Amino acid sequence: MNVLLALSLFLLATSLRADGPETMEVFTDSRFPVTGLEDIRQRSGARVTIHDLGAPAGLEETLSGGLPNTEAEALQVVRQRFSASFGELRQRFLQAYQGHTQAMTYGIDRYPAVVFDGRAVLYGVTDLVDALARYHRWKEVQTP
C-alpha cells in the first residue's frame, strides 16, 4: 500500500470518528437483519447497540414450549421453571424488553430504525454503513 493511500484511509477514518455519532442504536428483529456492524465499529468508533424487538416473543416461546395440555399441569410446570431459575429468567426478561422500553423512550413507532446519539432517527435501513452515510448527509444539511 502506498503512503498516499494509507494517509487517505487514515484521514477518512479520523474524519468519520470526529464527525460521526458516538452511539448508534438499532431497533430490529430477525426479519430485518443488520449488516455492516463490524465495519461501523472499526471505521466510526461508534458504540453500536442492537435491540432485538423479537426477543420477547422468542423468550415466551421458549418458556411455554412443551407445556402439558391441561391448565393445572401447565401452571405447575411454569412455576417449577420460574422457581428453578428465577434470577436467570428475570435477567432474560429484562434484556428481552429493554429494546421495547428504549424504543418507547425515543418515540420509535416502527422498525427497523437507527437512532444516532439519542437525537436523530433513520427508519427503514439495516445496512449500518448506508445508515451512517445518510446521517452524515443529513448532518451536513443541518450545519450552516
- For the stretch 8-55, pLDDT in tens is 334 344 444 456 799 999 999 999 999 999 999 888 889 999 999 999
More confident residue, 9 or 69: 69
pLDDT at 2 over 80: no
Q: List b or e across 102-119, with b for residues whose CB sees 16 or more CB atoms inside 10 angstroms.
A: bbeeeebeebbbbbbeee
d(CA 31, CA 21): 26
Q: Classify domain 3-55+97-142 by CATH number.
A: 3.40.30.10
Structural domain spans, the chain: 3-55+97-142
pLDDT score at 144: 66
